[in-house]
Copies of this chain bind each other. A is one copy, B any other.
Amino acid sequence: MSVKEWLKQVVWDEQGLVPVIAQEAASGDVLMFAWMNRDALERTVSTGEAVYWSRSRRKLWHKGEESGHTQKVVELRMDCDNDVLLLKVEQIGDIACHTGRHSCFFQKLAEGKWETVEAVLKHPDEIYK
């Protein structure tokens, strides 16, 4: 039986989760932020595709399972406290956000207002049909 020492080294929060930043490997764009539990992280590494823990639905969430916008793992990093992960990915379909945008971080603070600065690449109705 494999012990997976690397999995044991991750420091999970009181809910058994770890925050994960997904970054597009090629561009450096931060695409989204999500959470993983132990099972999600193990599956992410073993399958080479991002699997998160959906806190709202309380279940594993294979990113792209509905939209087809999966994320291929390019590299996995861990921070100095072993309690945050940085997942560098190739974003299939170029769209990470459920709004149909490239990145979830499409609102920019400008002159005291949140301004939408990224275009919708594909309408959600078309993505989730």
Contact = CB atoms under 8 A, between A and B. Distances in A.
A84 interface: yes
A75 B108 contact: yes
A65 interface: no
A16 interface: no
Copy number of this protein in the oligomer? 2
Interface residues of A, number: 37
Contacts of A107: 77-80, 82
A80 B106 contact: yes
B33 A76 contact: no
Given A33-B21, A86-B30, A99 B80 contact: yes
Interface in A75-101: 75-82, 84, 86, 97-99, 101
Return the 8 tightest CB-CB contacts between A and B, nearest first.
A28-B28, A77-B105, A79-B104, A76-B109, A78-B107, A33-B84, A86-B105, A80-B104
